[in-house]
């Protein structure tokens, strides 16, 4: 994914998170999302990350991180351990999505989910006209070399939340450099949802 989109989704999440809150970032990478939250908003942050090099980068930034995969990392936390649990660009890499979302809602007040939209217009065109697995700015990987194991559209995720009785408090849709307000399932590269039980 291009860095431009990363900055937009980070800035959206940054604006959502209240100062001084407790935040768990699942798949925190090198801590680029958590770092400004800790620096400017004095959040109490904990990251979960699988890559040990990325963990070293987090520790350099003064962040606390656990080396673990997302699915194994949630069980031990007591209910309501965090104000926010963030799953930004990591949900699509998780196999047991249902379990992870449920656990995230158990241990966090709000769950912020950011994911690439598989039904983005350029994906549809690529599949329809070229008959090839889509490659877009938010889904930049070749089919044999992608960390993603779940491919979903914005509509898919809304249906999922409706079926699981998960309330969507906020929805943000990101296009190529600007926010999208019409036909997000067609025009958005990425979506960010704020979920509550």
Question: Which positions touch another protein (CB under 8 A)?
Answer: 32, 35-36, 38-39, 42, 44, 46, 52, 55-56, 58-68, 76-78, 81
Question: Taking the complex as a whole, how short is the minimal distance between the CB of residue 136 and another protein, in angstroms?
Answer: 27
Question: Taking the complex as a whole, how short is the minimal distance between the CB of residue 35 and another protein, in angstroms?
Answer: 6
Question: Taking the complex as a whole, how short is the minimal distance between the CB of residue 100 and another protein, in angstroms?
Answer: 16
Q: Which residue has the tokens 């950011």?
A: 114
Task: Please say which residue, 18 or 170, places its beta carbon nearer to another protein.
Answer: 18
Question: Taking the complex as a whole, how short is the minimal distance between the CB of residue 67 and another protein, in angstroms?
Answer: 5
Cα 20-105-87 angle, rounded to 5 deg: 70
Task: Please say which residue, 78 or 131, places its beta carbon nearer to another protein.
Answer: 78
Task: Please say which residue, 56 or 181, places its beta carbon nearer to another protein.
Answer: 56
Task: Please say which residue, 76 or 178, places its beta carbon nearer to another protein.
Answer: 76
Task: Please say which residue, 63 or 97, places its beta carbon nearer to another protein.
Answer: 63
Question: Taking the complex as a whole, how short is the minimal distance between the CB of residue 115 and another protein, in angstroms?
Answer: 24
């Amino acid at each position: 994914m291009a860095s431009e989109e990363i900055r937009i989704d980070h800035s959206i999440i940054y604006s959502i998170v209240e100062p001084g809150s407790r935040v768990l970032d699942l798949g925190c990478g090198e801590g680029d999302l958590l770092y400004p939250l800790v620096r400017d908003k004095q959040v109490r942050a904990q990251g979960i990350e699988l890559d040990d090099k990325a963990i070293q980068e987090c520790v350099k930034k003064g962040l606390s991180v656990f080396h673990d995969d997302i699915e194994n990392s949630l069980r031990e936390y007591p209910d309501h351990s965090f104000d926010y649990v963030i799953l930004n660009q990591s949900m699509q890499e998780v196999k047991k999505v249902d379990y992870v979302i449920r656990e995230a809602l158990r241990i966090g007040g709000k769950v912020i989910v950011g994911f690439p939209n598989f039904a983005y217009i350029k994906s549809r065109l690529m599949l329809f006209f070229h008959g090839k697995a889509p490659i877009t700015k938010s889904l930049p990987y070749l089919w044999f070399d992608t960390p993603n194991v779940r491919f979903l559209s914005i509509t898919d995720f809304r249906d999922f939340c409706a079926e699981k009785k998960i309330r969507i408090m906020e929805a943000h849709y990101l296009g190529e450099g600007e926010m999208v307000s019409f036909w997000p399932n067609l025009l958005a590269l990425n979506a960010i949802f704020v979920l509550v039980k």
